[in-house]
Amino acid sequence: MKIQNIEEYHSIYKQSVENPEQFWAEVARQFEWISPFSETLKWDFEKPDVQWFINGKTNITLNCLDRHLANHADKTALIWESNDPKEKEIRFTYARLHEEVCRMANVLKNNGVKKGDRVCIYMPMIPELTISVLACARIGAVHSVVFAGFSAHALADRIQDAQANVVITSDGLNRGTKEVAVKRVVDEALDSGCDSIQKVIVANRLGWTVDMTHGRDVFLHDELLKVNADCPAEPMDSEDMLFILYTSGSTGKPKGVVHTIGGYMVYAGYTFDTVFQCGEKDIFWCTADVGWITGHSYLIYGPLLNGATTLMFEGIPTYPDAGRFWQVIDKYGVTHFYTAPTAIRALMASGVDHVLGYNLHSLKLLGTVGEPINEEAWKWYHLHIGKGRCPIVDTWWQTETGGIMISAIGHFSPQKPAHAGLPLPGIQPVLLNNDGKEIKENEQEGYLAIRFPWPSIIRTTYGDHERCRLTYFSTYNNYYFTGDGARRDADGLYRIIGRVDDVINVSGHRFGTAEVENAINQNKKVVESAVVGFPHYIKGQGIYAFVVCEKIPESPDFTREEILETVTQEIGRIAKPDKIQFVTALPKTRSGKIMRRILRKVAEGDTSNLGDTSTLLDPLVVDEIVQGAI
Ligand code: PRX
């Protein structure tokens, strides 16, 4: 839906709120259905139970691939750029991608994968990753992509929770100058007990020799020799599961967010088209890893549903130097560039010299996602990358929402740094006050919630529906609660302030404080710990850990390293705390609750007013913590 101007936006928005079912039915009819849906929506936020496009049958790959073959078979669907700038790129036309997906789908079938089975994909950013995701969808298997930076332990947790039957992986991976033995991580995960796994399919990225377990492990290149490219798309119900994606919350282990086929397809396709407004010859580049929701929705599904050309990049923004993004943009004539504020801040910090050698003429539109973008980074992006002529879409959304919810649209929306902007047509956000009442006036701050379902709203948390209800639908009656705080300006533009729960957003990656604490506590020397976020110039938020050891470490640097290693083992390098302060006790109330408010202030370096500490069991603890602050 290409909305052309702000008046049109307001009129479509109004219709979408007045008659949402009609609005979404019309959007959904633009997709191909094997049999049409008989009812648009049934919903009940209390249970929660939300169903869209009821009784509709389709397969998302029919819409991503087959549908484009008649008129666009030779159009480039996917361009793959290696970590190594000297390695030649790979281009897949829609015809070739279709063929490769069908072949991969047959490999999965040959290896026992059936409709409804869960397939864990733990792979670097290589074409086989995109092909594997689509191959699962082709045969009705549920993909669960796990970011290849997670540790063996974290991978095992996710495999066990999803009860996956198969893992697809690679021998190793290349990122910048680093090489990682990916298959070895899988072996370690499976050695720790993942009984559901029957097969491991190994793609060859680096040509390494890897240990293969007889009867369980197979090489993808061998398996591909055994199949042809004939694989009809499995007819799927609109509400069948498409994928599980694990994300962190404020309590417990990461949860498997479940998205279903019809609603996710409609929403990923609709939002890609509406927000980015790609033209026929445009080249879209989303820098996110497919291990995160952004990679799912805007590297793979959104662009392919719209017959666009999508770029997949294996490397990192700073290899071989901090000009790599800009070099890739010039190389392919990228028109739409979608990245995270943390990447922008890191590149900004390495100096504008790295941008100067590139002309960036091809760019038409820039996007950001994952965390609030500060004004300084917004302006730098606008001026040095967009050359003052490209609009920026600051897109707010979540793993649970499946697609973009609040954002500027194309070229005409008001541009206000650090503001995500207006809701997309069909989305009904509200700000709630402490009593759970809607704040009607503008220029107010509140808890961001959504009062009406949209097609790709989270359906459940895999294996634990009650957790889904408690996390998102019980805080405020009859609202989906986002966990974010936001502010509306005088014109109704939303500014996302950040999480109001115990979730920390580090470089756009979500971690629960409890999750990081549990990891730290696995270290034998640690008695307990408390983790809070603090403002970090590059990462947005950093992780500050207050740690109580059995005895005060004689060599704090050594113990710190040991703790970092424990966190790397338990979760992965991405969750390593930036600061660790050893303390003799944590500030607790008489009922044993940690007063995080105080710890947050200490971590922020603002100890001038710590508020009321009278309910603390031992107020002296606070003095020690303040004095030892890093
Ligand atoms: O706090 C919000 C922040 O990221 C959270 C969602 O994280 P995740 O599920 O990992 O998805 C990230 C990619 C969609 C949100 O609750 N967030 C996401 N986008 C923005 C944002 N905060 C401010 N502005 C954004 N544009």
* pLDDT tops 80 at residue 487: yes
pLDDT over 80 at 1, yes or no:
no
CA angle 255, 371, 10 (to 5 degrees): 105
Minimal-distance CA residue to ligand 1 atom 7: 398
Which pLDDT tens digit goes with each residue over 42-73? 999 999 999 999 999 999 999 999 999 999 99
Give percent of the chain above pLDDT 90: 95
pLDDT at 329: 98
Give the pLDDT of residue 463.
97
Average pLDDT, the chain: 96
Nearest CA to 459 out of 472, 450, 441, 447 is that of 472
Task: Please state, in angstroms and rounded to a whole number, the distance separating the CA atoms of residues 346 and 340.
Answer: 10
Compute the distance between CA of residue 596 and CA of residue 500 in angstroms, rounded to an integer: 13
Q: Which of 32, 242, 37 is nearest to 144 (CA)?
A: 242
- Pocket of ligand 1 contains residue 394 by CB under 6 Å: yes
326 Cα–ligand 1 center, Å: 25
Q: Name the strand (E) or helix (H) holding 563.
A: helix 556-570
Q: How confident is the model at residue 32 (pLDDT cuts 50, 70, 90)?
A: very high
Which residue, among 302, 293, 261, 289, has the nearest Cα to 402 in the 3D structure?
Answer: 293
Distance from residue 397's CA to the centre of ligand 1 (Å): 5
The residue whose CA is least distant from atom 23 of ligand 1 is 372
Q: How far is the CA of 367 from the centre of ligand 1 (A)?
A: 13
User: Are 510 and 250 a contacting pair, CB within 8 Å?
Assistant: no
Expressed in angstroms and rounded, the spacing between residue 208 Cα and the centre of ligand 1 is 37
401 lines ligand 1 (CB under 6 A): no
pLDDT band at 412 (very low <50, low <70, confident <90, very high): very high
Q: What's residue 618's pLDDT? A: 87
> Is the pLDDT confidence value at 612 over 90?
no
Cα of 365 to ligand 1 centre, how many Å?
20
Query: What is the distance in A from the centroid of ligand 1 to the CA of 343?
Result: 15
Instruction: Tell which phi-psi region holds residue 148, choosing left (phi > 0), alpha (psi between -120 and 50) or beta.
Output: alpha
**H or E element at residue 345:** helix 341-349
Confidence of residue 609 (pLDDT cuts 50, 70, 90): confident
Whether the CB of 289 sits within 6 Å of ligand 1: no
If you measure from the C-alpha of residue 371 to the centroid of ligand 1, how many angstroms do you get, rounded to a whole number?
A: 5
Of all atoms in ligand 1, which is nearest to the CA of residue 368? Answer: 26
Q: Is 405 in the pocket of ligand 1 (CB under 6 A)?
A: no
Q: What are phi and psi of 89, to 5 degrees?
A: -70, 165
Residue 96 pLDDT more than 80?
yes
Q: Is the CB of 296 under 6 A from ligand 1?
A: no
What integer pLDDT is reported at residue 107 of this predicted model?
98
**Residue 87, CA distances (Å) to 82, 181, 460, 619 in order:** 6, 20, 42, 61
The number of the ligand 1 atom at minimal distance from the alpha carbon of 509 is: 10
At 360, give phi and psi (nearest 5°).
Answer: 55, 25
pLDDT tens figures, 283-322: 999 999 999 999 999 999 999 999 999 999 999 999 999 9
Per-residue confidence band for 615, with pLDDT thresholds at 50, 70 and 90 = confident
For ligand 1, atom 8, the nearest C-alpha belongs to: 398
Confidence of residue 552 (pLDDT cuts 50, 70, 90): confident
Atom of ligand 1 nearest to the CA of 503: 1
Q: What is the 3-state secondary structure (H, E, C) of 593-608?
A: CECHHHHHHHHHCCCC
Mean pLDDT of the region 251-272? 95
Q: Is the CB of 398 under 6 A from ligand 1?
A: yes
Q: Which amino acid belongs to residue 235? A: P
pTM of the model: 0.97
- In this structure, the residue with its CA closest to atom 26 of ligand 1 is 396
User: What spacing in Å lies between the alpha carbon of 381 and ligand 1's midpoint?
Assistant: 19
Q: Whose CA is nearest to atom 11 of ligand 1?
A: 398
Bridge partner residues of 244 (DSSP): 258
Give the residue, by CA position, lying nearest to ligand 1 atom 24: 372
- Distance separating alpha carbons of residues 211 and 68, to the nearest angstrom: 40
237 lines ligand 1 (CB under 6 A): no
Distance 366 CA to ligand 1 centre (A): 17
Distance from the alpha carbon of residue 251 to the mean position of ligand 1, in angstroms: 18
Q: For residue 404, report the distance from its CA to the centre of ligand 1, in Å.
A: 10
Neighbours of 30 (CB within 10 A): 13
Please state which of the ranges 427-431, 489-493, 587-591 shows the lowest mean pLDDT.
Answer: 587-591
Please give the distance, rounded to the nearest whole angstrom, from the Cα atom of residue 558 to the centre of ligand 1. Answer: 35
The pLDDT-based confidence of 590 (bands split at 50, 70, 90) is: confident
Query: How far away, in angstroms, is 503 Cα from ligand 1 center?
Result: 11
> Which residue's alpha carbon is at the smallest distance from atom 13 of ligand 1?
370
- Residue 452, pLDDT > 90, answer yes
Most informative mutation of 145, 264, 396, 461 for ligand 1 (most atoms within 8 A of CB): 396
505 lines ligand 1 (CB under 6 A): yes
Q: How does residue 31 score in pLDDT terms, banded at 50, 70 and 90?
A: very high
* 496, two tokens: 């996302």
Q: Ligand 1, from 373, 397, 481, 495: best to mutate by most atoms within 8 Å of Cβ?
A: 397
What mean pLDDT do residues 601-610 have? 91
How far apart, in Å, are the Cα atoms of 551 and each of 365, 528, 547, 548, 583?
Answer: 55, 12, 11, 8, 10
| 207-253 residue pLDDT tens | 999 999 999 999 999 999 999 999 999 999 999 999 999 999 887 78
Query: What pLDDT was estimated at residue 89?
Result: 98
Instruction: Give the integer Cα–Cα distance in Å for 423 and 36.
Output: 28
576 lines ligand 1 (CB under 6 A): no
- Predicted confidence (pLDDT) at residue 471 exceeds the cutoff of 90: yes
pLDDT tens track for 77-91: 999 999 999 999 999
- Among 411, 422, 367, which residue's Cα sits nearest to residue 389? 411
